[in-house]
Copies of this chain bind each other. A is one copy, B any other.
Amino acid sequence: MNKTDICHKFVQLCGAILLVICIVPSLMAQGPNSDPKNEGSIKAVISTDPAPIFQKQMQLIEERRSSWLTKAEKAAPKLVCIPKKPVAVVKAEKDAASFQGWKIVKVGNVESVYDRPFLPGDSFILDFGEHFTGHFIFSVRRFNAPVDAPVRLSLIFGEVPAEMGEQFDPYQGGLTRSWLQDEVVNIDDIPQTIRLPRRYAFRYAKVTVISASRHGKFGFSDIQADAITSADETRLLPFTPRNADDEALDRVSRRTLRDCMQTVFEDGPKRDRRLWLGDLRLQALANYATYCNYDLVKRSLYILSGTAMKNGLVGTCSFERPEPSRGDNSILDYTALFAPTVLEYLEASGDRETAEDLWPLVLKQLDFTLEPVNAEGLFIPPKGWWLFIDWHKTLDKQAPEHAIILYGLKATLKLAEKIGKTGEAAFISEIIPRMEIAARKHLWDDSIGMFISGSKREISWASQAWMVLAGVPSPEQCRRAMTGVMRHPGAEKPVTPYMHHYVVDALLTAGLQEEALKLLQSYWGGMVKKGADTFWEVYVPEDDYASPYKSHLMNSYCHAWSCTPTYLLRKKFQRH
């Protein structure tokens, strides 16, 4: 046993002793798994009964909700269409040193696939030079003899090299196979130009001839794409990065944002393609720092509001097409983020009318987020809700969720102040200190200087970050918690850029500018170094294959919630 081992064992032993001394009595007094119904919600014990307030909001919601989808439709953006040309013919080559074991190698100019006959089995991969969301367009031609049979092509669109190198089938992943972007296309009449009706998110396109006549042969005469976005480059705010690394972070962030900006803010243009409240919040922030498409935020807010449940729960996610409808997921932490999202929209756009219009829905969300907060002000993880926080598989959600609810409360109060609704929101002022006290009492472990979560007293980056953002710890505690957790070898680290954003934000809130920049550059910069064209849904530096879906191919490699470096660099790190 060497010195390090002995030291490690000592830490473990101390931890175990601390557990027994400090935590067990607290657990016995207040089990985090207690049923909140037994305890009664905080809503029932504060001096102002909020029930009539929520009831009033419901009436207003019912009066207004039919107009919300109309307003969403009116705010629909015009999509910008940017023609794209492939830049090279490439191949995907196995390479252990490359991201996910695949390297893209140029094998020829694009012209080499034009104007020559193709036969069954022929295949090529095109590199369009950058990731984008859009339509694939190709022209097929004949040679001397008419093409005397339909041409059947397999088309595979990929965001990352692995999608070009690996077989999609047999598919063992956890989400539906059809998200992987492959098509079989049959062409009857040649020559013609075909614009595939479906939209894809891709940088690479693999074309394989499945079936074609060996007599009247066909070929390609042109291949291009239309990149589609509601991000207008002419509106882009100016920004001078400090160095090439920041420039790359900003560029890849903006590309990520751009490709997710469609007729709503989509979470990922390859997979899901849905409007999610939690993703929207971060996209909107990045958007305010770059393309300033306020109408797109307005439309997205109105879609989530217009598809709220009958009981007034705002949409956690909404499907835009064929007509807006609520996804049947309910994420409690996303619900809590509705108020910050509306507040920030108001602050960025100055659109007070929309903020006032949505205020009843903002306030009503507290009815849901406060339900699992017990009389003492402690969040008790409820059943029936999806507590998300991060794609981390085993993360304990109690502390971060407690903090997000508190964060949402504070944003609601601030919004009320901005639009003159402090009367209706007065009860919030009573809850905030109770939740802060409860958090400090039950979730803060002063001996280690960090927040713990759940019955297993889990230490996680998420707990520290959200507590810092929610304003629970003192400035000194903020710094202790953030630096402590990042040095703690056993602390649970986030696996998504989504949660990493909040960690960077918390570091900045804690005044740890240098650490914030370092994390930004090492985490998102790590993706850039691995060849990221757009930022990924999941990124675990030591595991290229990490996936919440049991398939790295199923991950979204242009994911909205990863686009915040442009916001952070432009709004938080910008020197004056």
What is the chain B residue whose CB lies nearest that of A321? B189
Stretch in A145-153, A446-454, A474-482, A503-511 with 4+ CB within 8 Å of B: A145-153
A386 contacts chain B at the CB level, 8 A cutoff: no
> Which of chain B's residues have a CB closer than 8 A to the CB of A186?
178, 183, 198
* Option from B150, B184, B319 in Cβ contact (under 8 Å) with A146: B319
Stretch in A33-41, A56-64, A211-219 with 4+ CB within 8 Å of B: A211-219
| A192-B322, A198-B186 given; A216·B328 CB < 8 A | yes
> Which of chain B's residues have a CB closer than 8 A to the CB of A177?
120, 152, 210-211
> Which of chain B's residues have a CB closer than 8 A to the CB of A175?
149
A387 contacts chain B at the CB level, 8 A cutoff: no
- Please, how many angstroms separate the alpha-carbon atoms of A216 and B178 in the complex? 14
**CB within 8 Å of B: which of A167-216?**
175-179, 183-184, 186, 188-192, 198, 210-214, 216
Contact across chains for B150 and A179 when beta carbons are under 8 A apart: yes
- Please, how many angstroms separate the alpha-carbon atoms of A437 and B214 in the complex? 44
A484 contacts chain B at the CB level, 8 A cutoff: no
Contact digits for A17-34, partner B, Cβ 8 Å, 1 yes 0 no: 000000000000000000
Please tell me how many copies of the chain the complex holds: 2
Closest Cβ of chain B: how far from A188's Cβ, in Å? Answer: 6
> Which of chain B's residues have a CB closer than 8 A to the CB of A145?
327-328
> Which of chain B's residues have a CB closer than 8 A to the CB of A179?
149-150
A65 contacts chain B at the CB level, 8 A cutoff: no
> Which of chain B's residues have a CB closer than 8 A to the CB of A214?
176
What is the chain B residue whose CB lies nearest that of A185? B184
> Which of chain B's residues have a CB closer than 8 A to the CB of A326?
146
What is the interface size of chain A, counting residues whose CB is below 8 A from a CB of the partner?
A: 38
Contact digits for A142-171, partner B, Cβ 8 Å, 1 yes 0 no: 001110111110000000000000000000
Contact across chains for B328 and A212 when beta carbons are under 8 A apart: no
Closest Cβ of chain B: how far from A43's Cβ, in Å? Answer: 29
Closest Cβ of chain B: how far from A221's Cβ, in Å? Answer: 13
A325 contacts chain B at the CB level, 8 A cutoff: yes
> Which of chain B's residues have a CB closer than 8 A to the CB of A325?
146
* Option from B149, B178, B191, B273 in Cβ contact (under 8 Å) with A176: B149
* Option from B178, B183, B190, B274 in Cβ contact (under 8 Å) with A210: B178
- Please, how many angstroms separate the alpha-carbon atoms of A343 and B277 in the complex? 74
- Please, how many angstroms separate the alpha-carbon atoms of A322 and B120 in the complex? 22
Which of A120, A146, A186 neighbours the largest number of chain B CB atoms within 10 Å of its CB? Answer: A146
> Which of chain B's residues have a CB closer than 8 A to the CB of A192?
322
Contact across chains for A146 and B328 when beta carbons are under 8 A apart: yes
Contact across chains for B190 and A178 when beta carbons are under 8 A apart: no
Closest Cβ of chain B: how far from A266's Cβ, in Å? Answer: 12
Closest Cβ of chain B: how far from A290's Cβ, in Å? Answer: 28
What is the chain B residue whose CB lies nearest that of A214? B176
Contact across chains for A178 and B191 when beta carbons are under 8 A apart: no
Closest Cβ of chain B: how far from A249's Cβ, in Å? Answer: 32
> Which of chain B's residues have a CB closer than 8 A to the CB of A120?
177
What is the chain B residue whose CB lies nearest that of A150? B178
Contact across chains for A178 and B211 when beta carbons are under 8 A apart: yes
Contact across chains for B176 and A212 when beta carbons are under 8 A apart: yes
**CB within 8 Å of B: which of A325-341?**
325-328
- Please, how many angstroms separate the alpha-carbon atoms of A386 and B149 in the complex? 19
**CB within 8 Å of B: which of A354-396?**
none
Contact digits for A387-407, partner B, Cβ 8 Å, 1 yes 0 no: 000000000000000000000
- Please, how many angstroms separate the alpha-carbon atoms of A275 and B120 in the complex? 26
> Which of chain B's residues have a CB closer than 8 A to the CB of A198?
186, 188
> Which of chain B's residues have a CB closer than 8 A to the CB of A176?
148-150, 211-214
> Which of chain B's residues have a CB closer than 8 A to the CB of A190?
322
- Please, how many angstroms separate the alpha-carbon atoms of A178 and B212 in the complex? 7
> Which of chain B's residues have a CB closer than 8 A to the CB of A151?
178
- Please, how many angstroms separate the alpha-carbon atoms of A214 and B177 in the complex? 11
**CB within 8 Å of B: which of A292-328?**
319, 321-322, 325-328
Besides the known contacts A150-B179, A177-B211, 10 further A-B residue pairs in the complex with CB atoms under 8 A apart: A146-B325, A148-B319, A149-B176, A149-B179, A176-B213, A186-B198, A188-B273, A188-B321, A189-B322, A192-B322
Give the top 8 A-B pairs by smallest Cβ distance, nearest first: A149-B176, A178-B211, A152-B178, A184-B184, A177-B211, A150-B178, A145-B328, A189-B321
A-B contact pairs, 24 of them (CB 8 A): A120-B177, A144-B328, A145-B327, A145-B328, A146-B328, A148-B176, A148-B327, A149-B175, A149-B176, A152-B177, A152-B178, A176-B211, A176-B213, A177-B210, A177-B211, A178-B186, A178-B212, A183-B186, A188-B198, A188-B321, A190-B322, A191-B322, A192-B322, A216-B328
